[in-house]
Amino acid sequence: MARFGRIATIMFQPKTTNPGLAVLLMGAATAFIAGTTLFAKALGGDTLGPALHPLQVSHGRFVFAFLAISSAVAIMRPQFTRPNWALHFARTFFGWGGVTLMFASVAFIPLADATAIVFLNPVFAMILAIPLLREKVGPIRWSAAAIAFAGAMILLRPTPETFQIASLLALAAALIMGFELIFIKKLSGREAPVQVLLINNFLGVIIASLAVIGVWQVPTAAQWGVLIALGVCMALAQACFVNAMARADASFIAPFSYGTLLFATLYDIAFFGQIPDWITLTGGGIILSGGILLAWREAKARQRAQNSRA
């Protein structure tokens, strides 16, 4: 038990810089995040039993992630500060809405397509930051946004023969997660990461439990197992992500988060036999290009801000 406590403390409260380990942890985080969409796709189909509603899938995600994180917190016994409940609730509400729509979309379209479209959330956050955070957006960031949106339009396959309406669910998920990022920015630096994760998942359980009442159905034994795996997978993804971001500069480690698209593609091939076509590869590649350009621009802006304060 004491050994588990040390591991949990290292994972949730990292204190040393280690770029190499940060890359490995971010790689693990992306594999786990893509794994949650894999499990959601399985639960949204009928291979494990009658398909579960996306609201029930996201409910399982929050319940079992909260159980995993609260178990680690019970062993760590970290010091908590007074939380900003309004910011936490807003962040969690939009996060719950985004992940529910994401889970709904992957039941109908390839994991790679849905994942790539949802990667528009930093672009939406950039646009939303103009009225909500009073941020100024220059030509480079607007160019990055235009590039990413062009990729999304390709993935939407906007022709009568190929259009997939479920892609709009992924696009809506990206927009809602963009709102979530705004509140994450507002929370940044105010509270310890472990406190943010615990409160986020606690509030998520409450919201998801209320939302699932009208669509709840008894899962099969296999579905219970996958729901547990989904929640634990998300808890591990969050722990790895927090640890990775704390062990290296954000400008260095953030681009590695796009590995989620690689794992989603591999899971598509391995578990569903869905080979990415040229539309998926082209649209996804263009979105990644826009996202990397945006990440680079944000890193340069942070560096200039730090230099001006020095």
Q: Is residue 23 part of a domain?
A: no
**Per-residue pLDDT, 305:** 64
Q: Is residue 25 part of a domain?
A: no
Q: Is residue 17 part of a domain?
A: no
Assess whether pLDDT exceeds 60 at residue 1.
no
SS3 state at 158: coil
Band (pLDDT 50/70/90 cuts) for residue 142 is: confident
Query: How many separate domains does the chain show?
Result: 1
Q: Tell me the Ramachandran region of residue 134: left when phi exceeds 0, alpha when psi lies from -120 to 50, beta otherwise.
A: left
| Six-digit token string for 194 | 């472990």
User: Is 28:240 a contact under the CB 8 Å cutoff?
Assistant: yes
Band (pLDDT 50/70/90 cuts) for residue 2 is: very low
- Predicted structure pTM score: 0.85
**What average pLDDT does the segment 269-289 reach?**
88
Q: Is residue 41 part of a domain?
A: yes
**61/66 Cα distance (integer angstroms):** 8
**Rounded to 5 degrees, what angle do the CA atoms 13, 120, 239 make?**
15
Cβ neighbour number for residue 62 with a 10 Å cutoff: 27
b/e burial code for range 223-260 (CB count within 10 A of at least 16 → b)? beebbbbbbbbbbbbbbbbbbbbbbbeeeebbbbbbbb
Q: Is residue 26 part of a domain?
A: no
pLDDT in tens, 143-197: 888 888 888 888 887 666 556 788 899 999 999 999 998 998 888 778 888 888 9
User: Is 116:155 a contact under the CB 8 Å cutoff?
Assistant: yes
Structural domain harbouring 172: 2-10+32-309
User: Is 25:175 a contact under the CB 8 Å cutoff?
Assistant: no
pLDDT in tens, 11-52: 555 556 777 888 898 899 999 999 999 999 999 999 899 999
DSSP string, 220-250: PHHHHHHHHHHHHHHHHHHHHHHHHHHSS-H
| Six-digit token string for 27 | 């790689």
User: Is 256:23 a contact under the CB 8 Å cutoff?
Assistant: yes
Assess whether pLDDT exceeds 60 at residue 213.
yes
Strands (E) in 110-226, as ranges, are none
User: Is 29:197 a contact under the CB 8 Å cutoff?
Assistant: no
Q: Is residue 294 part of a domain?
A: yes
Q: Is residue 124 part of a domain?
A: yes
Helix axis angle, 193-212 relative to 85-106, nearest 10°?
Answer: 60
**182/296 Cα distance (integer angstroms):** 19
Closest CA to 113 of 286, 281, 293: 281
Q: Is residue 204 part of a domain?
A: yes
